[in-house]
Chain A
């Protein structure tokens, strides 16, 4: 028998084939040995515009195009490299300095090696994605060089060589090859002067040494950056972790935190059920208290104190271990602010720090004392400690430098440690090393966390950039957008390229033969109108109703046909899917789709023809639906009303034209529909929302712009039909796509969530809250009325809303049909269909519906557009759920900021006349803590913490300034009754009743609202201070 071994000598091609062998372990712990072939070649271009050889050998793709060369022929020079240079970073340089590489001021002409890219992917997926984005963008001139496949630069791992050494050798190999290659092949004439230097950037000392031996120019990241312009700012952007670890290797100080369990111990524990996994959730009132919701228990586990939190940061996915029963505690009844407790920490002195300072320890002990009450709020709760972190969700944080933490010698350019106080109260202080401390004081700055080691009390991070002065509108708005991860950069060119070339002149084709009319119904003769908030530009929806010959009504909801303009998977679609939703701030709108589409081509503006996606129902005069029908259409809206205008027109008896009549019919139907929904158990929830109507009126009182949302009949008219359309579409797409329909659900909240509220209501008002079903809840909420306190009902509704889970998008295959239910709307199925201009979910639903009704698109052949696989759809759902929530929070924060600024403006105006007296308003007690209360002020839709010093006791002098009032705090004492939810504030040594104030839950109080300059963490935000003046 012949030998079957590969006989490589015979085949000339075979010389170019080598193989790569590596071992990897799978998730289940198996070890796999993988053998891959490598085909070495000589036609991989160096991509330098200087090179005269490579353009002749550069390969073409299937269409015969040759990729343009990237690296500039005149790369930027520095003092060290006057003739210009190309950078070759190694993996560590990228790990430590990705922010630098993204910086637009430096770091051009970078050669990214395949070896490095692959290693980076193994080390950090987010950094890998950021690097890929850099390679794809044109302006930074990053070239991805597949060195492993170029014959000259391919490196075989030696028998005793570690993988790291091999990779470092590959980097050096490339650098020296590039050097000699450019020498040989540079275009004539330039040869003498302009061969750029090839600079390896590495932080590995061993590698630096070898580079020197092999005559390769190499610099560490910080050395390289020092030679650049503006190096001080750039140096701050190098990740802190590596440096710090190196220096601490020798002088390892005290370890503050217990070590995390090993990965295998975690997985075994999780499997055995002794450990639990969940998301680390920090209480907004007490930074030392967190909760983790786990699959195993109904109620979240409590995590108290820094020791137990063990370096977890809000949002991290952690593994926890339940503590022994004697360590169980009740959740705190105290408001604890980080900066109040740890005000005097010094960022430079590590040695003296204990992980739990005495003051913190005291704060904890006081809570334990209270742990043995009799009812739910007082009963000790199971507590746990963090033993491992599965996934960090560290992001970039906006904050400002703590003035107290900068040394007195803040002059000069010495590098020093400062604390950054993040805007988000749930994030601990971040220690940042900076050389520009004096410059960034008083600025909003952006930082990122690099690491949190056991020997450091606070996480370590590095500076990224300054956004601007605190309290300036630009900086604060950008801070807000960054903090809520809103993509606010202008749309890139690739997205704008997807817009119709006609621009604003785009029109519905006149000829019905045109392919745009394929599969569209002509509904231009229907009397359609839209009703929206005043000044609305992106009109998503329009309505009509008309009597049919058989006495029934035809009712139509017409939605902007965005899916006609946004084709799946083009850059515009991808951008929209990342943005997820349009974000509305008080004075700004961050669009999901480019302006041209959102406010013009898609927007169902009046008097012009527009493409629409219509849902048409036939209804009996009693609003029973006979049939429903979906079609793409062309409509012409007759009028765009605001809610007020529509209401006026309906109420005006003299208007008898057809359009008004149809609106009246719509209104009549909407009332019936609403009643039906309420009968089915839909909840009427309340959220503390106000609306800002800025009329550009500079002179008047800015506070008049702050309006609580009015609810007109026409609001609910539009709402009812949108709900109906969403429900109808939801069941239609579920019919066609039983696995991949994009739906929206609102889970039934577990009854435990309501326990506290039920207790409070029972105790204070003797009212029962029945949470057995949404209907029972709706009815019992209706009964929660206090004749003396008309706002009480709304207050209870607000509190009840907070007990519920939030609604979420999901794809049909992820849940069983019984779990599709939308609790708040009492509908068995629901989706979002009616706002495709501002929500990506609706756009997806449009595509699914189009496919479900067999719409064949412009080209005539049916296309299943959009996502067909569940995995991808679930990714999209996850993203839009997050974006949706962030957009809501950003909107609210924007309003809060505006209210603060309005109060400030008013305050300043008043101050000119004398003293800033604030505004007297009504407030309601929402929560009672041991050392303060939370008060809600409906007029401004704000809630605020009222601390001891902010109670105005009878007979005290009317000191108003923050500093003066802060003096008062130590002289005060409280009596807190956790069972009765009352808090009595009195001056020490003056227990007389007349000189004390007692507040209780749900109580209506007179408060004084003003905007004061906050000193600690919220600085720049201008805390809205609430003084309780009268209980």
Chain B
């Protein structure tokens, strides 16, 4: 049995993969990986790797018009976790499981409101996310991969949408004691950490530069647009976790910007 973070972290201040509390895993990404689609990307955060392709905006399907209506493009998201992505090889009977449909729902609602969909009335933007290997922070990695693919597809958005996970280095089930704070927040959790520790996923974007603020170039003007948490943690820790997560998002933003700018050259 491998060691676990909650026992060894307090002793060494090192996580199970040798990272410190505030370090991201190695993030690598490329865009325009699939010329057959409008936009595509490949992104890996540690051993989590994701391929994403965007089709559209294309004309909306018939019959869909009514519900989509109101002059906005509809974002469709399809998430497929490959059978070989996890530790156990899973044979999936076509349909999507709970995990992937939950990620799909979150991605859809995040990008539906994030993209400038009003520019493409009566049309559909469809995003396909394939998880090639899953090693934690799946939603965050998917958010980042989608952002890259959408940028590649040239779909206008107010800023890059970047996601990241953060957790606590212990079960954090009782109120935080500010006098001797034993638990550290952790950034960008891997799968074993996600299974052991409480964690949340947060995604931020830069605010729309409108009107007079346009000139301000205020880097701090970020807003949280996705926040999900599926584990239990005492409310007093939430602020710390959130702060670390948001900080992680801006680190990721720089990395993604580097990828986008790099690919032009």
B60-103 residues with Cβ-Cβ distance < 8 A to A are 87-88
A-chain residues with CB within 8 Å of residue B42 when the two chains form the complex: 4
Which of B18, B177, B181, B232 makes the CB contact (< 8 A) with A149?
B18
B18 pairs with A121, CB closer than 8 A? no
**Interface digits, A575-599 against B, CB 8 Å rule (1 contact, 0 not)?**
0000000000000000000000000
A144 pairs with B3, CB closer than 8 A? no
Which of A6, A33, A148 makes the CB contact (< 8 A) with B44?
A6
Known contacts A1-B33, A61-B21, A146-B18: A135-B11 contact under CB 8 Å: yes
B17 pairs with A4, CB closer than 8 A? no
**Interface digits, A14-40 against B, CB 8 Å rule (1 contact, 0 not)?**
100101000000000010111111111
Task: Compute how far the CA of A233 lies from the CA of B186 in the bound complex, rounded to whole angstroms.
Answer: 46
Task: Give the interface segment out of B22-30, B106-114, B211-219.
Answer: B22-30
Which of A1, A14, A17, A144 makes the CB contact (< 8 A) with B11?
A144
Known contacts A36-B17, A62-B21: A144-B8 contact under CB 8 Å: yes
A-chain residues with CB within 8 Å of residue B8 when the two chains form the complex: 114, 117, 144, 146
Nearest chain A CB to B237 CB, angstrom units: 11
B42 to A, closest residue via Cβ = A4
Decide if A404 is an interface residue (CB 8 Å cutoff).
no
Task: Compute how far the CA of A39 lies from the CA of B14 in the bound complex, rounded to whole angstroms.
Answer: 10
B14 pairs with A63, CB closer than 8 A? no
B-chain residues with CB within 8 Å of residue A271 when the two chains form the complex: none
A-chain residues with CB within 8 Å of residue B26 when the two chains form the complex: 11, 13-14, 17, 37, 39
B184 to A, closest residue via Cβ = A62
Task: Compute how far the CA of A955 lies from the CA of B28 in the bound complex, rounded to whole angstroms.
Answer: 101
Task: Compute how far the CA of A572 lies from the CA of B2 in the bound complex, rounded to whole angstroms.
Answer: 29
A-chain residues with CB within 8 Å of residue B185 when the two chains form the complex: 62
B-chain residues with CB within 8 Å of residue A136 when the two chains form the complex: 11
A44 pairs with B14, CB closer than 8 A? yes
Task: Compute how far the CA of A132 lies from the CA of B22 in the bound complex, rounded to whole angstroms.
Answer: 25
Decide if B167 is an interface residue (CB 8 Å cutoff).
no
A-chain residues with CB within 8 Å of residue B190 when the two chains form the complex: 36-37
Decide if B265 is an interface residue (CB 8 Å cutoff).
no
The number of chain A residues touching the other chain, given as a range, is 35 or more
B33 pairs with A2, CB closer than 8 A? yes
B170-196 residues with Cβ-Cβ distance < 8 A to A are 173-175, 177, 181, 184-185, 190, 192
A2 pairs with B181, CB closer than 8 A? no
Nearest chain A CB to B251 CB, angstrom units: 13
A569 pairs with B18, CB closer than 8 A? no
A59 pairs with B13, CB closer than 8 A? yes
B11 pairs with A41, CB closer than 8 A? no
A4 pairs with B33, CB closer than 8 A? yes
Decide if B224 is an interface residue (CB 8 Å cutoff).
no
Total number of residue pairs linking A and B with CB closer than 8 Å: 101
B14 pairs with A149, CB closer than 8 A? yes
Known contacts A4-B33, A38-B18: A146-B88 contact under CB 8 Å: no
A569 pairs with B47, CB closer than 8 A? no
A121 pairs with B13, CB closer than 8 A? no
Task: Compute how far the CA of A62 lies from the CA of B239 in the bound complex, rounded to whole angstroms.
Answer: 14
The number of chain B residues touching the other chain, given as a range, is 35 or more
Task: Compute how far the CA of A568 lies from the CA of B181 in the bound complex, rounded to whole angstroms.
Answer: 15
Decide if B51 is an interface residue (CB 8 Å cutoff).
yes
Which of B12, B21, B44, B177 makes the CB contact (< 8 A) with A144?
B12
Q: Which of A4, A14, A863, A868 counts the most B-chain CB atoms under 10 A from its CB?
A: A4
Task: Compute how far the CA of A865 lies from the CA of B234 in the bound complex, rounded to whole angstroms.
Answer: 11
Task: Compute how far the CA of A39 lies from the CA of B15 in the bound complex, rounded to whole angstroms.
Answer: 10
Task: Compute how far the CA of A19 lies from the CA of B190 in the bound complex, rounded to whole angstroms.
Answer: 13
Q: Which of B2, B14, B190 counts the most A-chain CB atoms under 10 A from its CB?
A: B14
Decide if A122 is an interface residue (CB 8 Å cutoff).
yes
B24-56 residues with Cβ-Cβ distance < 8 A to A are 25-26, 28, 30, 32-35, 42, 44, 46-47, 51
Decide if A7 is an interface residue (CB 8 Å cutoff).
yes
Decide if A67 is an interface residue (CB 8 Å cutoff).
yes
A4 pairs with B30, CB closer than 8 A? yes
Decide if A118 is an interface residue (CB 8 Å cutoff).
yes
A39 pairs with B173, CB closer than 8 A? no
Nearest chain A CB to B124 CB, angstrom units: 25
Known contacts A11-B28, A121-B3, A135-B11: A1-B34 contact under CB 8 Å: yes
Task: Compute how far the CA of A61 lies from the CA of B33 in the bound complex, rounded to whole angstroms.
Answer: 39
**Interface digits, A89-131 against B, CB 8 Å rule (1 contact, 0 not)?**
0000000000000000000000000100110011000000000
Decide if B16 is an interface residue (CB 8 Å cutoff).
yes
Nearest chain A CB to B256 CB, angstrom units: 14
Task: Compute how far the CA of A39 lies from the CA of B19 in the bound complex, rounded to whole angstroms.
Answer: 6
A39 pairs with B28, CB closer than 8 A? no
Decide if B20 is an interface residue (CB 8 Å cutoff).
yes
Task: Compute how far the CA of A491 lies from the CA of B214 in the bound complex, rounded to whole angstroms.
Answer: 63
A4 pairs with B18, CB closer than 8 A? no
A863 pairs with B88, CB closer than 8 A? no
B47 pairs with A35, CB closer than 8 A? yes
Decide if B1 is an interface residue (CB 8 Å cutoff).
yes
A-chain residues with CB within 8 Å of residue B11 when the two chains form the complex: 132, 135-136, 144
B243 to A, closest residue via Cβ = A62
Nearest chain B CB to A636 CB, angstrom units: 31
A-chain residues with CB within 8 Å of residue B181 when the two chains form the complex: 62-63
B240-254 residues with Cβ-Cβ distance < 8 A to A are 240, 244
**Interface digits, A33-54 against B, CB 8 Å rule (1 contact, 0 not)?**
1111111110010000000000
B-chain residues with CB within 8 Å of residue A67 when the two chains form the complex: 13
Nearest chain B CB to A851 CB, angstrom units: 13
**Interface digits, A510-536 against B, CB 8 Å rule (1 contact, 0 not)?**
000000000000000000000000000
A34 pairs with B173, CB closer than 8 A? no
A41 pairs with B18, CB closer than 8 A? yes
B14 pairs with A146, CB closer than 8 A? yes
Nearest chain A CB to B121 CB, angstrom units: 33
Which of B3, B35, B232 makes the CB contact (< 8 A) with A118?
B3
Task: Compute how far the CA of A67 lies from the CA of B16 in the bound complex, rounded to whole angstroms.
Answer: 18
Q: Which of A33, A40, A61, A146 counts the most B-chain CB atoms under 10 A from its CB?
A: A61
Task: Compute how far the CA of A4 lies from the CA of B52 in the bound complex, rounded to whole angstroms.
Answer: 12
A569 to B, closest residue via Cβ = B174
Task: Compute how far the CA of A59 lies from the CA of B20 in the bound complex, rounded to whole angstroms.
Answer: 8
B33 to A, closest residue via Cβ = A2
B22 pairs with A62, CB closer than 8 A? yes
**Interface digits, A820-855 against B, CB 8 Å rule (1 contact, 0 not)?**
000000000000000000000000000000000000
Which of A1, A35, A568 makes the CB contact (< 8 A) with B35?
A1
Which of A2, A63, A122 makes the CB contact (< 8 A) with B30?
A2
Task: Compute how far the CA of A569 lies from the CA of B6 in the bound complex, rounded to whole angstroms.
Answer: 14
B-chain residues with CB within 8 Å of residue A34 when the two chains form the complex: 87
Nearest chain A CB to B59 CB, angstrom units: 27
Task: Compute how far the CA of A118 lies from the CA of B46 in the bound complex, rounded to whole angstroms.
Answer: 23
Task: Compute how far the CA of A13 lies from the CA of B173 in the bound complex, rounded to whole angstroms.
Answer: 35
Task: Compute how far the CA of A121 lies from the CA of B17 in the bound complex, rounded to whole angstroms.
Answer: 17
A33 pairs with B21, CB closer than 8 A? no
Task: Compute how far the CA of A321 lies from the CA of B153 in the bound complex, rounded to whole angstroms.
Answer: 69
B28 pairs with A37, CB closer than 8 A? no
B13 pairs with A39, CB closer than 8 A? no
Known contacts A39-B23, A569-B173: A6-B12 contact under CB 8 Å: no
Task: Compute how far the CA of A67 lies from the CA of B13 in the bound complex, rounded to whole angstroms.
Answer: 8
B18 to A, closest residue via Cβ = A149
Nearest chain B CB to A101 CB, angstrom units: 16
B184 pairs with A61, CB closer than 8 A? yes
Task: Compute how far the CA of A306 lies from the CA of B149 in the bound complex, rounded to whole angstroms.
Answer: 72
B175 pairs with A863, CB closer than 8 A? yes
A-chain residues with CB within 8 Å of residue B18 when the two chains form the complex: 38-41, 146, 148-149
Can you name 6 extra interface pairs (CB under 8 A) apart from A1-B33, A6-B28, A36-B47? A2-B30, A4-B30, A40-B18, A114-B8, A146-B8, A868-B232
Interface residue ranges, A against B (CB under 8 Å): 1-2, 4, 6-7, 11, 13-14, 17, 19, 30, 32-41, 44, 59, 61-63, 67, 114, 117-118, 121-122, 132, 135-136, 144, 146, 148-149, 567-570, 863, 865, 868
Closest 4 A/B residue pairs (Cβ): A149-B18, A39-B18, A62-B184, A569-B174
Instruction: Report 6 cross-chain contacts, Cβ distance below 8 Å, ordered by A residue.
Output: A6-B44, A39-B23, A62-B244, A114-B8, A144-B8, A144-B12
